[in-house]
């Protein structure tokens, strides 16, 4: 078990007398020490459930936009938002890799109770988010938007609706990135409730603003599809301004440095990209794999029915598993990283196993509905066509097993990433999400007839490979020896 002396710098502990240790340690009890000292199950669950709820809220926010524009404008607006988000998500996934690097450092330093290093890391991540979103993403995204829409083959009428939406999102993406950065930093430092509250507030603001801006109200004109983008960026911008004020006043578990170190610290920035860049490449690779899988679905004899079944069964219903598993992945990353920082590698190992058990049980509950009530679930989305229902039932029953595998895989991924091994999940994703499922589909298509069930089995095999490789890699324990540190403030740049 960790005590007060293990939470201060080693030099201070070894050279100080007992009264000095108590004076130095008492103001540094800033972080929730139950994560590194208390029972593991409550510690993991305390971080997991707010993250899971935040993920659900984030998913519902996207659904809100679609429901509103679909009912108020029409299907072209739905297509415009869908196409635009396909482009934006690729950019977000890559840029958010910096925040994964930040989470590795923050969780390790919080576990070691090094508040000054935590705050410096968060501030440098903020500066990178500011530079990328304002100086790079805004101007390039604005002028490149027409070409990007052509790249995804947006129909002319869809492009007309999508262009203003995409340009607004690119120009004012700063608030969204601040929210992602803060959510990651707070969870890594042990506070998962604040991101949940911020996410709920942003969703409520977004809903209210969209209702006004999409259809207009009084003197406010109707902006249509562009109003959905305006509502999103205004809501995230307001949350960002409030959050920056809280960071500056130091009232959260993380804060900005107040006097020194306000410039760019290239040592910290290098670490952010060192640990984060593999995650960004992983996200892009998985998106490419998803697009290629959709091309196989589109080549089927019953392509329209298969695409409809996939959109509902995998994209919507299976997200019930992935939303919860990703929340547990974040909890596993934070708890494992903090315990490794506190010098408890065995406890970090146990935390990931606890998160995996939680994920397995939750996936089993959801999978039970997939297995025994697939038609009822599909009917909620208006799926009545016999061909669509038949294919959708097949997919849901396969996903009832896939959910168990992906829940365990993601928690192990969280354990690896949280302790600093961000390269292994990249390699595992390339093998399991691209090579295995696409390879199976390619071979079957070249040697015989490719049916929907073949694609669903290929997806299952990919999930099985990801689970097996993630568990094996985590059990190897090489993450125990990964070193994470930054230069002391006195030698930092800026």
Residue-wise DSSP of 117-180: HHHHHHHHHHHHHHIIIIIIIHHHHHHHHHHHHHHTT--HHHHHHHHHHHHHHHHT-HHHHHHH
Residues 6 or more apart in contact with residue 255 via CB below 8 angstroms: 119, 122, 247, 248, 249
Confidence at 62, pLDDT banded by 50, 70, 90: low
Give me the residues paired with residue 220 across strands.
Answer: 217
Which pLDDT score, from 0 to 100, does residue 11 have? 34
Average pLDDT of span 331-337: 93
Angle between helices 75-95 and 225-249 (to 10 degrees): 30
Distance CA 213, CA 205 (A): 12
Decide which of 472 and 378 is more confident. 472
Would you say the C-alpha torsion 107, 111, 115, 116 has a positive or negative sign?
negative
Confidence at 15, pLDDT banded by 50, 70, 90: very low
Distance CA 341, CA 33 (A): 12
pLDDT at 89 over 50: yes
Q: Tokens for 447, please give them.
A: 């040697």
| Least confident window among 33-42, 86-95, 202-211 | 86-95
DSSP for 303-318, written as a single string: HHHHHHHHIIIIIIIT
Which pLDDT score, from 0 to 100, does residue 373 have? 93
| Backbone phi and psi for residue 234, each to the nearest 5 degrees, phi listed first | -70, -45
CA distances from 224 to 39, 162, 216, 374 (A): 51, 11, 8, 36
| Least confident window among 98-112, 163-177, 242-256, 374-388 | 374-388
Would you say the C-alpha torsion 193, 195, 196, 198 has a positive or negative sign?
positive
CA angle in degrees (0–180, nearest 5) for 175-317-184: 30
Q: Tokens for 121, please give them.
A: 């890391």
pLDDT at 222 over 90: no
Would you say the C-alpha torsion 234, 235, 239, 242 has a positive or negative sign?
positive
Distance CA 275, CA 365 (A): 34
Distance CA 353, CA 359 (A): 10
Which pLDDT score, from 0 to 100, does residue 13 have? 32
> Ranked by mean pLDDT, which of 214-218, 313-317, 396-400, 487-491 comes out on top?
396-400
pLDDT at 51 over 90: no
Mean pLDDT of the chain: 85
Q: Are 419 and 340 in contact (CB under 8 A)?
A: yes
Question: In the Cβ-directed half-sphere of 487, how many Cα atoms lie within 13 Å?
Answer: 13
Considering only CA atoms, which of 345, 351, 348, 278 is closest in space to residue 481?
345
Residues 6 or more apart in contact with residue 165 via CB below 8 angstroms: 80, 81, 84, 225, 226, 228, 229
| Domain spans of the chain, in order of start | 45-264, 278-483
Q: Above pLDDT 70, what percent of the chain? A: 89
Confidence at 29, pLDDT banded by 50, 70, 90: low
| Backbone phi and psi for residue 217, each to the nearest 5 degrees, phi listed first | -155, 120
| pLDDT tens-digit map of 288-303 | 888 788 888 888 888 8
Q: Are 120 and 259 in contact (CB under 8 A)?
A: no
Which pLDDT score, from 0 to 100, does residue 235 have? 94
Which pLDDT score, from 0 to 100, does residue 406 have? 96
Distance CA 277, CA 283 (A): 10
Distance CA 388, CA 470 (A): 34
DSSP for 257-299, written as a single string: -SSS--S--HHHHHHHHHHHHHHHHHHHHHHHHHHHHHHHHHT
Which pLDDT score, from 0 to 100, does residue 61 have? 65
Which pLDDT score, from 0 to 100, does residue 23 have? 37
Average pLDDT of span 238-250: 93
Q: What 8-state DSSP symbol labels residue 432? A: I
> Ranked by mean pLDDT, which of 226-230, 377-381, 446-450, 468-472 comes out on top?
468-472
Distance CA 450, CA 456 (A): 11
> Ranked by mean pLDDT, which of 45-59, 252-266, 412-426 comes out on top?
412-426
| pLDDT tens-digit map of 150-191 | 876 777 888 888 899 999 999 998 998 999 899 999 999 999
Confidence at 377, pLDDT banded by 50, 70, 90: confident
Distance CA 100, CA 95 (A): 10
Confidence at 9, pLDDT banded by 50, 70, 90: very low
Distance CA 183, CA 315 (A): 24
Any idea of the CA torsion for 443, 446, 447, 451, to the nearest 10 degrees?
Answer: 80
Distance CA 280, CA 287 (A): 11
CB 31: neighbour CB atoms within 10 A? 24
Q: Are 476 and 348 in contact (CB under 8 A)?
A: no
Q: Tokens for 215, please give them.
A: 């259809």
Confidence at 259, pLDDT banded by 50, 70, 90: low
| Least confident window among 61-65, 106-110, 288-292 | 61-65
Q: Above pLDDT 90, what percent of the chain? A: 50
| pLDDT tens-digit map of 413-431 | 999 999 999 999 999 999 9
Considering only CA atoms, which of 65, 186, 41 is closest in space to residue 119?
186
Which pLDDT score, from 0 to 100, does residue 17 have? 36
| Least confident window among 51-60, 218-227, 451-460 | 51-60
Q: What 8-state DSSP symbol labels residue 482? A: -
Confidence at 20, pLDDT banded by 50, 70, 90: very low
């Amino acid at each position: 078990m960790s005590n007060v002396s293990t939470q201060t710098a080693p030099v201070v502990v070894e050279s100080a007398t007992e009264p000095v240790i108590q004076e130095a340690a008492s103001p540094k009890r800033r972080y929730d020490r139950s994560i590194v000292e208390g029972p593991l199950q409550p510690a993991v669950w305390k971080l997991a459930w707010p993250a899971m709820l935040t993920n659900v809220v984030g998913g519902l926010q996207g659904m809100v936009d679609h429901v509103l524009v679909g009912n108020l404008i029409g299907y072209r607006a739905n297509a415009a938002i869908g196409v635009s988000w396909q482009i934006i998500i690729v950019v977000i996934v890559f840029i958010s890799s910096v925040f994964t690097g930040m989470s590795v450092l923050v969780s390790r330093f919080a576990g070691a109770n090094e508040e000054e290093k935590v705050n410096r890391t968060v501030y440098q991540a903020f500066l990178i988010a500011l530079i990328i979103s304002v100086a790079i993403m805004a101007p390039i995204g604005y002028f490149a938007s027409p070409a990007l829409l052509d790249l995804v083959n947006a129909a002319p009428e869809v492009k007309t609706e999508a262009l203003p939406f995409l340009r607004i999102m690119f120009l004012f993406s700063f608030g969204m990135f601040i929210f992602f950065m803060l959510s990651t930093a707070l969870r890594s430092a042990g506070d998962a409730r604040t991101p949940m509250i911020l996410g709920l507030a942003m969703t409520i603001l977004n809903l209210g603003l969209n209702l006004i801006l999409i259809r207009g109200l009084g003197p406010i004109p109707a902006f249509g599809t562009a109003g959905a983008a305006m509502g999103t960026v205004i809501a995230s911008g307001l949350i960002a301004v409030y959050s920056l004020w809280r960071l500056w006043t130091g009232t959260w578990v993380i804060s900005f440095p107040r006097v020194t170190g306000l410039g760019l610290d290239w040592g910290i920035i290098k670490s952010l990209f060192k640990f984060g860049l593999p995650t960004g490449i992983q996200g892009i690779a998985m998106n490419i794999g998803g697009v290629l899988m959709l091309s196989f679905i589109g080549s089927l004899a019953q392509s329209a029915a298969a695409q409809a079944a996939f959109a509902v069964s995998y994209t919507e219903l299976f997200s019930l598993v992935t939303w919860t598993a990703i929340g547990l992945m974040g909890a596993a990353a934070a708890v494992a990283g903090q315990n490794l920082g506190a010098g408890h590698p065995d406890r970090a190992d146990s935390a990931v196993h606890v998160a995996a058990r939680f994920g397995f049980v939750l996936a089993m509950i959801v999978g039970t509905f997939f297995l025994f009530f697939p038609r009822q679930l599909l009917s909620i989305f208006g799926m009545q066509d016999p061909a669509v229902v038949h294919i959708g039932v097949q997919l849901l029953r396969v996903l009832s097993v896939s959910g168990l595998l992906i829940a365990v895989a993601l928690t192990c991924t969280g354990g690896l990433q949280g302790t600093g091994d961000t390269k292994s999940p990249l390699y595992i994703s390339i093998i399991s999400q691209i090579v295995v499922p696409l390879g199976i589909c390619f071979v079957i298509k070249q040697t015989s007839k490719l049916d929907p069930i073949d694609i669903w089995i290929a997806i299952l095999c990919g999930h099985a490979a990801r689970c097996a490789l993630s568990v094996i890699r985590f059990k190897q324990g090489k993450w125990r020896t990964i070193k994470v540190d930054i230069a002391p403030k006195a030698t930092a740049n800026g």
